């Protein structure tokens, strides 16, 4: 074998296919479901629920306010989509050159992996190159009641058979905000308890604040700068938190623990072969290589960027180094410009640096803004709640872009392409944009 990949999430299976196509004999090992967290308990199923929530909002807006929410049908549709995509990944694993195995992997030595199968049998494989892609696991706060009955994670939230009347979400990050938006659309009373001063701490603060304002208008309650202290079982449940120095509590029927995900470094015996790692994840260099030559780590397990598309391109970066170790690696540059999106209503998307990061670094910049309410397409869609903000240097170099509004997750890629190719805000300003379109909001910002 030429390559062993441990984990069949987006980073693992996409890299395996590419490796096989260039002639590498590749083994892929997966102990759970094909597609990893993204396909089975993350990106895809969450977006299925987001779509159902959006459709329900449109039905209500059309005058059918009493339209019931059939959560069982919504979950069934989600399961159908996931199963179709999982079958697609299974077909990819039949690509000539790929050997796929179900089982738990462990290192025998730095270049040998044993696979323990469900039937108890064990098989060993050796290869000069190994990619660890074991993903991440749900984090829990170390507070009393964190694992109490009635406390669920995002995985369980995707498979509810009935809706609670009141939901408390602990954590105002991406996972928490998407589920807050989804369940509010389904008629659930939602309260969010977030430790930081603002939701979406990694995003531009102005955009995050505007999103919180939009979600509050939809009826979602927020307690920011609030530390969850304890969760008490009962009917109703009670969440105790400290806000502005005062101990307070709120009642609910269900608690969603959404305080992030941590690198799944315990999935394989890293210590036995001396791979360096920390609480954040496996330590890697710019080629995704660990301290053991020929052993790489990609995706959530290295803690660099917990996004499925980042995992895929990290895999490509590792493969490029495996194939051409003495040549320049173009994927290093690609990984410097990674867009991110939050599928709330309205959506949020970003790429590059925030105003807070630029200010802290003492970098001079201008913020160019344009609003959805001035865009004809947005008004025709009844989606006038939104803002586009592009941060540029005095010379016009794009340093970052932040969008709040309908289809933000699609619009951000125009800026991403310009940034990746060394363009400037002038390239956007001098490019004809179709009318009427939401992309004209970016054009308006570029001309500001």
Compute the distance between CA of residue 336 and CA of residue 352 in angstroms, rounded to an integer. Answer: 8
Residue 186 near residue 219, CB atoms below 8 Å: no
Token representation of residue 284: 């890697």
Which residue in 111, 309, 407, 435 is the catalytic one? 435
Compute the distance between CA of residue 407 and CA of residue 167 in angstroms, rounded to an integer. Answer: 27
- The Cβ-side half-sphere exposure at 330, using a 13 Å CA radius, reads 3
Compute the distance between CA of residue 58 and CA of residue 65 in angstroms, rounded to an integer. Answer: 10
Coil, strand or helix at 396:
coil
The partner residues of 242 in beta bridges, in order of sequence, read: 227, 247
Token representation of residue 280: 């954040």
Compute the distance between CA of residue 258 and CA of residue 335 in angstroms, rounded to an integer. Answer: 26
Pairing type for strands 122-126 and 226-232 reads: unpaired
**What secondary structure, in 3-state letters, does 229-263 show?**
EEEECCCCEEEEEEECCEEEEEEECEEEECCCEEE
**Is 433 one of the annotated active-site residues of the chain?**
no
Coil, strand or helix at 60:
helix
Which residue from 106, 176, 178 is spatially nearest to 139, judged by alpha carbons?
176
Q: Which residues are catalytic?
A: 435
């Amino acid at each position: 074998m030429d390559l062993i990949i441990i984990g069949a999430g987006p980073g693992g299976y996409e890299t395996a296919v590419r490796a096989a196509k260039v002639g590498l004999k590749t083994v892929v090992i997966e102990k759970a479901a094909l597609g990893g967290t993204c396909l089975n308990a993350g990106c895809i199923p969450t977006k299925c629920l987001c779509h159902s929530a959006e459709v329900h909002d449109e039905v209500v807006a059309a005058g059918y306010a009493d339209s019931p929410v059939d959560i069982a049908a919504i979950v069934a549709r989600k399961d159908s989509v996931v199963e179709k995509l999982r079958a697609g990944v299974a077909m990819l694993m039949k690509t000539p050159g790929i050997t796929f195995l179900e089982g738990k992997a462990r290192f025998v030595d730095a270049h040998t992996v044993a696979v323990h199968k469900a039937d108890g049998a064990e098989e060993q494989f050796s290869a000069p190159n190994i990619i660890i892609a074991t993903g991440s696991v749900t984090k829990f706060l170390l507070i009393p009641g964190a694992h109490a009955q009635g406390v669920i994670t995002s995985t369980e939230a995707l498979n509810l058979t009935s809706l609670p009347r009141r939901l408390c979400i602990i954590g105002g990050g991406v996972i928490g905000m998407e589920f807050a938006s989804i369940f509010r659309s389904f008629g659930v009373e939602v309260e969010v308890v977030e430790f930081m001063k603002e939701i979406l701490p990694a995003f531009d603060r102005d955009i995050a604040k505007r999103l919180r304002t939009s979600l509050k208008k939809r009826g979602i309650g927020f307690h920011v700068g609030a530390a969850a202290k304890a969760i008490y079982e009962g009917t109703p449940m009670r969440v105790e938190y400290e806000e502005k120095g005062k101990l307070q509590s709120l009642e609910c029927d269900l608690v969603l623990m959404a305080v992030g995900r941590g690198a799944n470094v315990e999935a394989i015996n890293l210590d036995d072969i001396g791979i360096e790692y920390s609480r954040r994840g496996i330590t890697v260099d710019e080629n995704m290589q660990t301290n053991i030559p020929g052993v790489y780590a990609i995706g959530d397990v290295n803690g660099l960027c917990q996004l499925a598309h980042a995992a895929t391109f990290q895999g490509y970066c590792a493969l490029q180094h495996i194939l051409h170790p003495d040549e320049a690696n173009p994927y290093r540059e690609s990984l410097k410009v990674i867009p991110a999106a939050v599928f709330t209503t309205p959506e949020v998307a970003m790429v590059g640096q925030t105003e807070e990061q630029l200010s802290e670094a003492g970098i001079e910049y201008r913020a160019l803004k344009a609003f959805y309410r001035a865009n004809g397409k947005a008004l025709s869609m009844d989606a006038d709640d939104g803002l586009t903000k592009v941060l540029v240097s005095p010379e016009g170099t794009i340093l970052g872009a932040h969008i709040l509004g309908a289809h933000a997750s699609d619009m951000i890629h125009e800026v991403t392409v310009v940034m990746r190719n060394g363009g400037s805000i002038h390239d956007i300003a001098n490019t004809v944009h179709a009318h009427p379109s939401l992309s004209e909001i970016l054009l308006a910002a570029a001309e500001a």
